[in-house]
Structure 1
Amino acid sequence: MLKPFTLIIKISTLCMVMFFSELTYAQENSHTQEELEITPFVDGTLLQPADAKKNILAIIIGDYGPTDRNGNQNFQKNNNLKKLAYSFANMGISSFRYDKRIVKQIKKGRINARLSFDDYVKDAKDVINYFVNQANYTNIYVVGHGQGSLVGMLAINEHVTGFVSLAGSAKPIDAVILEQIEQTAPGLKTDAERVFNVLRTGKTTANYPQALSNIFSLDTQDFIANWMQYQPTEIISNLNLPILIVNGTKDLQVSMHEAELLHQAATNSNLVSIQNMNHVLFIIEGGDLENSKSYNESFRPLAPKLISALQDFIK
Structure 2
Amino acid sequence: MKTLIATALLIASSSALASPSETEVTLATTTGALTGSLIKADNDQGTVALIIAGSGPTDRNGNNALMQNNSLQLLAEGLATQGISSLRYDKRGVAASLDAGPSETDLRFSTYVDDAVLWLDYLRREQHFKKLVIIGHSEGSLVGILTAQQTPVSKLVSIAGVGVSAAKIIRVQLEAQPEVVKEQASPILAKLEQGQTVAEVPTMLNALFRPSVQPYLISWFQYDPAKEIAKLQLPLLVLQGSHDIQVDTLQATLLADANPQAQKVVIDGMNHILKLAPQDRQANIQTYNNPELPLADKVVSSISEFIKK
Partner of 1:34: 23
| Structure-1 separation of matches of 2:143 and 2:221 | 12
Percent identity for Structure 1 against Structure 2: 34
* Structure 1 pair 289–226 and aligned structure 2 pair: CA distance change class (3 A): same
Shift of 1:242: 0.3
1:69 aligns with 2:60: yes
- Pick from 127, 132, 141 the counterpart of residue 133 of structure 2: 141
**Could you say which structure has the larger radius of gyration?**
1
SS in 2 for 1:245: strand
1:296 aligns with 2:267: no
SS in 2 for 1:75: coil
Number of equivalences: 286
* Structure 1 pair 109–125 and aligned structure 2 pair: CA distance change class (3 A): closer
CA RMSD of aligned residues (A): 1.9
* 1:33-53 deviations in Å (ceiling 9; x for gaps): 11111233421010112232x
1:124 aligns with 2:116: yes
SS in 2 for 1:262: helix
The one-letter amino acid of 2:165's match is P
1:279 aligns with 2:272: yes
* Structure 1 pair 110–57 and aligned structure 2 pair: CA distance change class (3 A): closer
- Pick from 239, 258, 271 the counterpart of residue 265 of structure 1: 258
| Structure-1 separation of matches of 2:100 and 2:118 | 23
SS in 1 for 2:298: helix
* Structure 1 pair 109–91 and aligned structure 2 pair: CA distance change class (3 A): closer
| Structure-2 separation of matches of 1:81 and 1:34 | 16
| Structure-2 separation of matches of 1:224 and 1:247 | 25
Partner of 1:198: 191
The one-letter amino acid of 2:59's match is D
| Structure-1 separation of matches of 2:126 and 2:200 | 49
**Bigger helix fraction:** 1
* Structure 1 pair 298–209 and aligned structure 2 pair: CA distance change class (3 A): same
Matched-pair contact (CA < 8 Å) for 2:117–2:151: no
* Structure 1 pair 88–163 and aligned structure 2 pair: CA distance change class (3 A): same
Matched-pair contact (CA < 8 Å) for 2:35–2:96: no
Matched-pair contact (CA < 8 Å) for 1:132–1:159: no
Range that drifts further, 276-285 or 181-190: 181-190
Range that drifts further, 213-222 or 104-113: 104-113
The one-letter amino acid of 2:27's match is I
TM-score normalised per structure 1: 0.86
TM-score normalised per structure 2: 0.87
SS in 1 for 2:175: helix
Shift of 1:244: 0.3
* Structure 1 pair 286–201 and aligned structure 2 pair: CA distance change class (3 A): closer
* Structure 1 pair 185–170 and aligned structure 2 pair: CA distance change class (3 A): farther
- Pick from 236, 244, 252 the counterpart of residue 229 of structure 2: 236
